[in-house]
């Protein structure tokens, strides 16, 4: 299966979701993207299984965990987030993307739908950070690895009340902070892309999104560590049922992504640090995607022009 074939999947999702940009309808944007992403996956010559998707089968009619997709072929595990940042699309804000990661069977951790403490950095600092080190220690080693002062390091953190202490620690250490409302997959990937101005991503967010971020950083040579943070006993029990040894276990890149053959694709829905958003013109649209594979050690940015079906224009008769 050609890596570039998977670009069609995220492009279709991004095009569908972008129709709802700024309309305040997060669920409709997500539903449109889910349906298109599933349709394209089902047309591919793969035997795919969703390991990270829209939730359990009883709560997600499409792209649910365990759903099998494709017309038959090579067996692959698929992780998807048709709209990473549904609130961003609904409110017309930047950094919403359609995301997909593909590995050989068994290549991705089947993460429970709970929270995860995350730490992401680019290739230069990947060998030096640790999730159990203090905020100041991690920021200092990142600064040293990048050969710049700590006050020239920018940390991305989700703007949540639970991060109040983390934000204060980062500021005391002297680093800069970029607060984001949603979309921490995009933020984690940006740490490993030159020119984004983002060097570290810290904080607690969704565990499935953590696996997606780890898949991308595996392709980019970046570093990622995580630890589950269940919100209640039910989520902790679910994590153990899904095969986790312990909810307190430090999850390294090798445990989150268990193969050296990973494909990661993302298409911009709204303009962001990684990709430009969908642009419509006349009866066409332009999409911008990032495609990477861990074995080829390549990162491609792909711009595609789509011809869309013309919608007849009718003049209202008075």
> Burial letters for 10-27: b for 16+ Cβ neighbours within 10 Å, e otherwise?
bbbbbbbbbbbbeeebbe
d(CA 262, CA 296): 10
Q: What is the mean pLDDT of the chain?
A: 93
| CA 315 to mean position of chain CA atoms | 43
- Is the pLDDT at 58 greater than 70? The verdict is no
Contact status, residue 184 vs residue 209, Cβ threshold 8 Å: yes
Q: What is the pTM of this model?
A: 0.92
Average pLDDT over every residue of 29-40 = 97
**Confidence at residue 283, expressed as pLDDT on a 0 to 100 scale:** 87
Going by C-beta distance under 8 Å and a sequence separation of 6 or more, which residues neighbour residue 119?
Answer: 129, 130, 131, 138, 200, 201, 202, 223, 224, 225, 226
Q: How does pLDDT run across 249-295, given as a tens digit for each residue?
A: 999 999 999 999 999 999 999 999 889 999 999 889 999 999 999 98
For residue 315, what pLDDT band results from cuts at 50, 70 and 90?
Answer: low
Distance CA 4, CA 263 (A): 9
The pLDDT of residue 254 = 94
- Cα dihedral sign for 165, 83, 206, 199? negative
Q: Which domains does the chain have, with CATH numbers?
A: 3-105+263-307 (3.30.540.10), 115-256 (3.40.190.90)
Residue 60 has pLDDT above 80, yes or no: no
pLDDT tens column, 123-159: 999 999 999 999 999 999 999 999 999 999 999 999 9
Confidence of residue 310 (pLDDT cuts 50, 70, 90): low
């Amino acid at each position: 299966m050609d890596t570039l074939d998977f670009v069609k999947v995220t492009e279709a999702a991004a095009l569908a979701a972008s129709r709802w940009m700024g309309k305040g309808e997060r669920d409709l944007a997500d539903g449109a993207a889910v349906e298109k992403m599933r349709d394209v996956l089902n047309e591919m010559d793969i035997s795919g299984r969703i390991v990270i998707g829209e939730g359990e089968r009883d709560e997600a009619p499409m792209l649910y965990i365990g759903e099998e997709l494709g017309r038959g072929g090579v067996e692959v595990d698929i992780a998807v987030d048709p709209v990473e940042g549904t609130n961003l699309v609904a409110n017309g804000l930047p950094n919403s993307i359609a995301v997909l990661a593909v590995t050989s069977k068994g290549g991705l951790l089947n993460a429970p739908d709970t929270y995860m403490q995350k730490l992401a950095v680019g290739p230069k600092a990947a060998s030096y950070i640790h999730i159990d080190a203090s905020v100041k220690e991690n920021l200092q080693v990142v600064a040293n690895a990048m050969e710049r002062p700590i006050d020239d390091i920018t940390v991305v953190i989700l703007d949540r009340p639970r991060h109040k202490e983390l934000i204060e620690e980062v500021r005391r250490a002297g680093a800069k902070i970029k607060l984001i409302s949603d979309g921490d997959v995009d933020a984690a990937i940006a740490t490993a892309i030159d020119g984004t101005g983002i060097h570290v991503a810290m904080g607690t967010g969704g565990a499935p999104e953590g696996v997606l971020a780890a898949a991308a950083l595996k392709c980019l040579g970046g570093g990622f560590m995580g630890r589950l943070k269940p919100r209640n006993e039910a989520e902790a029990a679910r994590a153990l049922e899904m095969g986790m040894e312990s909810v307190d276990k430090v999850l390294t890149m090798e445990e989150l992504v268990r193969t050296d053959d990973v494909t990661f694709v993302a298409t911009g829905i709204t303009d962001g640090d990684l990709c430009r958003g969908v642009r419509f013109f006349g009866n066409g649209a332009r999409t911008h995607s990032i495609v990477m594979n861990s074995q080829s050690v390549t990162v491609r940015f792909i711009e595609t022009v789509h011809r869309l079906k013309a919608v007849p224009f009718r003049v209202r008769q008075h």
